[in-house]
Structure 1
Amino acid sequence: MKLPHPIQYQGSKRSLASVILRYFPNKFPRLVEPFSGSAAISIACAARGKANSYWINDLNKPLAELLGLIINHPVEIANYYETIWNQQHDDPIEHYYRVREDFNRTGDPRLFLYLLARCAKGSVRYNTEGLFNQSPDKRRHGTRPETMRDNIFGVSTLLKGKSVISSLDYKDVLSNVNEDDVVYMDPPYQGVCGDRDSRYFSGISYEEFLAALSELNVRQIRYAVSYDGRTGNKTFGNRLPESLSLTLIELEAGRSSQATLLGRDAVTVESLYLSSRLAIEVKASPYFHRKRETKQLVLMETRRRYAAKISKRIP
C-alpha cells in the first residue's frame, strides 16, 4: 500500500509503519503521537482504519502547524508550495537560502514545507540558537508540485475531521491520555537525550522519560515506543530497563544511508517496545523482524486489501 507522504523527514517511520501497526489493536478509539515528526504512523494507521481519531503532537511548532495546514487546509498549502517551488528556477540555491532566512525570521510553516522537500537528505538540522541551518540538496529541486499536491490531498483525506494538532511538551500530552488510547512514541535516541543535538529541535531527559513510562504503566495505558537501535557494531542508546516490563520487538530497517554512501554492509536494527498491557492484548512476544519478512507482510496485506475491494464490487 503506497501511502501519501508530503513531509520528507529523516528518521520517519514510514518504511516501518506496516510492521509497527501489526502490534496495535485492530480497532481502537484514538491514536496519540506525542513525538509525531511527519506523522507517518498516524497516516498509516488512518489508511488502515484502525483508529477513530488522532492526536498529533510535536514540540516543533512550525512542524505541527504545517501538519495542521496539510490536514485542514490542503488547497492553501498546496498552492503556496507550487508558487514558491516555481520561483526557484533562476537560481535554485540562492532561492533556497532566501526561503531559509525568511523561515528563520518568521517561523512560517508554509516555508518549512519547501525547505523540508528541498534540503539535503530530507534531514532537519538546527544550530545552537534553534535556527534551521540545513543546506540545500544541490542535485535536485525538491518534490514536484503535482506530486506534492497529491500527497497533501491524500493525507487530508485520511485525517481531516479526525485529528487534533498540538505543539506541547510530551509530558503534557501523556498526562491527558486515557485507558482507551494507544500511544505511539518515537523520541530522540537516548544518545542525544538531555544534550542538545543538531538533528533535533529539542532533546529529552532520559530519566524523565523513564519516569513518564513508569507512570503510564501505573495508569494501564497501552503504548509502544521506538527508542534505541544499532547499525553494525554501533549502538544508539541503552535498551529500556527491564523494570518497565516491556516486550522488545526488533525491526531490521536495512542498510543505513550513511553505510550505503560509504559502501558498507552495516544493517540498521530499530527497537520497538510494547507496554505490558498492549503486548498482552495483541499477544506479542519478543521477536526479530527481518526486512525481507517485513516486505512479504506488506505485500500479503496489500493483496488481501486489494482482493477485498474486488470482492465488494462483485454481486
Structure 2
Amino acid sequence: MMSQVPHPIPYQGSKRKLAPTIYGFIPRDIDAFYEPFAGSAAMTLYMASRGAANRYIIADKFETIIDLWQMIVDEPRETADRYEEVWQGFSEENPGYFNEVRARYNENRDPVDLLYLVCRCVKNAVRFNSAGNFTQSADKRRKGTNPKKMRAAIFDASELLKGRTEFRKGDWVTTSCDATVRDFVYMDPPYLGTSVGPDKRYHQQLEQEPLISGLAELNARNIRFALSYDGMTGDKEYGPALPGELGMHRLLLHAGRSTQATLQGKSSETVESLYLSRDLDAPERTRIEQLKTAQQSLAL
C-alpha cells in the first residue's frame, strides 16, 4: 500500500480530496475498476494505492488525456524528461512562453504540452472552446509543477498502475460495455451547466438524458457503480437531482471551498452528490445508512 497517493495531473475539480470518503462506499471484492470519465484519474490512483482491484480501466472521451496517461504509466522516464524540457523553456525574458506552448498544443495535441498547460494555467482550471482548443490563460504567480516533483509523481503513478491498467478512448457507455457483476464503475462526468457554452470547463459535453439511459443500462446488467454528479456551491445548484426510478442512494458530501468561487473573489462551500447503485452488498448499505443518519442530524 502506497501511503501518499501521487497526482501527476492536477486538474481543478479532481476527486483527490473526496477519494477517501468515496472509497468507503466501494465494495472490497472488485476485479476491474472502471473510471470512464478519468481526467486526472484521482479515484483510480486512490484505489490502486489501496490495492483495491485486480485491474484498472482508465477511459475518457478526451483522447489526449488518455494518450498522456498511457505515456505516464508506460514511459515514465521519457514523459518526465519531456515535461522538464517544456517547463525549462520558460524564462522571465519570454513572458509569452505559455501562449506559445498553448498554440503548439492546439495545433498538434501533444500530451506533454497539455500536462504543462494544466500545471501552469490559472488555478489549474482548464478551459476549452467549441473546437476543443485549450483557452485558459497562464497563472502569472506560478511556474507550474516543479520537474523534480512531477518526476516523482509520474514514477509513483507508473509504479501503481503499470501492468494492470488498460486505456480506452470514447464514450463512457462504450468504454464500460464489458463491465461485469464482479467489477465496479466510478463516474465523475461534467456537472450540468459546466460543459456547455463558448468557454467550457470540460473538453466534451454531456447531456443528462443519455447519462440517465446509460445508468439504466448498468442497472439492467446488475453492475455496481458510483456517480459523482450534481451539487451546489453556495446558493448555486448544478443541475437537478437524477430520477428516483433509477433506485440509487443519493448522499451529500462536503467538498470544501469552491475554487471557482475563489476565482470570482467569493468564499463558498461546495456540496457534491454521490449516487450509489442499488446493487451494493450489505456492508456498503450499512455505511450508506450511517452517513444518511449523520446528514439528517446535521440538517443537510
- The TM-score with structure 2 as length reference comes to 0.91
Aligned counterparts of 2:149 and 2:11: Cα–Cα separation in 1: 16
Q: 1:212 aligns with which of 188, 202, 214?
A: 214
Q: 1:85 aligns with which of 87, 95, 107?
A: 87
Aligned counterparts of 2:198 and 2:212: Cα–Cα separation in 1: 19
Aligned counterparts of 2:270 and 2:250: Cα–Cα separation in 1: 16
Cross-structure match for 1:37: 39
Question: Which residue identity lines up with residue 110 of structure 2 in the other structure?
Answer: D
Aligned counterparts of 2:190 and 2:175: Cα–Cα separation in 1: 17
Q: 1:27 aligns with which of 14, 26, 29?
A: 29
Which runs of structure 2 are paired with 1:117-196 in the superposition (5 Å)?
117-192=119-194
Could you tell me how far 1:136 is from its partner in structure 2?
0.6
Could you tell me how far 1:208 is from its partner in structure 2?
1.0
Cross-structure match for 1:3: 5
CA gap 1:231/1:279 in 2 versus in 1, 3 angstroms: farther
Aligned counterparts of 1:190 and 1:184: Cα–Cα separation in 2: 18
CA gap 1:204/1:262 in 2 versus in 1, 3 angstroms: closer
Deviations 1:217-255 (A, max 9, x none): 111000000000011221111111110010112110112
CA gap 1:196/1:206 in 2 versus in 1, 3 angstroms: farther
Cross-structure match for 2:273: 271
Could you tell me how far 1:83 is from its partner in structure 2?
1.0
Aligned counterparts of 2:257 and 2:116: Cα–Cα separation in 1: 27
Which runs of structure 2 are paired with 1:54-133 in the superposition (5 Å)?
54-91=56-93, 93-133=95-135
C-alpha contact (below 8 Å) 1:8/1:122 kept by paired residues: yes
Question: Which residue identity lines up with residue 80 of structure 2 in the other structure?
Answer: A
Cross-structure match for 2:288: 285
Q: Which has the higher helix share?
A: 1
Aligned counterparts of 1:174 and 1:28: Cα–Cα separation in 2: 15
C-alpha contact (below 8 Å) 2:36/2:59 kept by paired residues: yes
Identity of aligned residues (%): 42
Could you tell me how far 1:281 is from its partner in structure 2?
5.5
C-alpha contact (below 8 Å) 2:29/2:182 kept by paired residues: no
C-alpha contact (below 8 Å) 1:10/1:124 kept by paired residues: yes
Aligned counterparts of 1:200 and 1:10: Cα–Cα separation in 2: 11
Aligned counterparts of 1:45 and 1:101: Cα–Cα separation in 2: 35
Aligned counterparts of 1:187 and 1:32: Cα–Cα separation in 2: 13
- 1:254 aligned to 2:262? no
Q: Which moved more, 1:106-115 or 1:280-289?
A: 280-289
C-alpha contact (below 8 Å) 1:195/1:203 kept by paired residues: no
Cross-structure match for 1:229: 231
Segments of structure 1 that go 5 or more residues without pairing to the other structure are 291-315
Aligned counterparts of 1:161 and 1:42: Cα–Cα separation in 2: 14
* Paired residue secondary structure (1:225): strand
Question: Which residue identity lines up with residue 97 of structure 1 in the other structure?
Answer: N
Aligned counterparts of 1:233 and 1:194: Cα–Cα separation in 2: 20
Could you tell me how far 1:90 is from its partner in structure 2?
4.3
Aligned counterparts of 1:16 and 1:200: Cα–Cα separation in 2: 20
C-alpha contact (below 8 Å) 1:279/1:285 kept by paired residues: no
CA gap 1:227/1:256 in 2 versus in 1, 3 angstroms: same
Aligned counterparts of 1:244 and 1:252: Cα–Cα separation in 2: 24
Q: 2:51 aligns with which of 40, 49, 52?
A: 49
CA gap 1:153/1:93 in 2 versus in 1, 3 angstroms: same
* Paired residue secondary structure (1:282): helix
Could you tell me how far 1:94 is from its partner in structure 2?
1.4
Root-mean-square deviation over aligned CA pairs: 1.9
C-alpha contact (below 8 Å) 2:195/2:203 kept by paired residues: no
C-alpha contact (below 8 Å) 2:233/2:258 kept by paired residues: yes
CA gap 1:171/1:256 in 2 versus in 1, 3 angstroms: same
Q: Which moved more, 1:275-284 or 1:208-217?
A: 275-284
Cross-structure match for 2:298: none
* Paired residue secondary structure (1:117): helix
Could you tell me how far 1:202 is from its partner in structure 2?
0.8
- The TM-score with structure 1 as length reference comes to 0.87
CA gap 1:228/1:243 in 2 versus in 1, 3 angstroms: same
* Paired residue secondary structure (1:208): helix
